[in-house]
Amino acid sequence: MKHDNSKCMHCEGCAAVCPTGAITVYETFVKIDEILCTKCGNCVKICPVGAIT
């Protein structure tokens, strides 16, 4: 998954819907663990600004 930090509002919505805990939202960036990620697409759907693709 790709995360665009210039669009992100750091709302933590993506981390809340990730079933594997692959997303950690920090104050200035978001980390997606590609090993934990199952490519379920939840984070892409929930993100209000389309920051994850």
Q: Which residues bind ligand SF4 (CB under 6 A)?
A: 1, 3, 8-14, 17-20, 22-23, 25, 30, 32, 37-43, 46-47, 49, 51-52
Q: How far apart are CA 25 and CA 39, in angstroms?
A: 18
CB of 50 to ligand SF4, least distance (A): 8
CB of 26 to ligand SF4, least distance (A): 10
Residue 2 corresponds to which amino acid? Answer: K
CB of 27 to ligand SF4, least distance (A): 11
Q: Which residues contact 6 (CB under 8 A, 6 or more apart)?
A: none
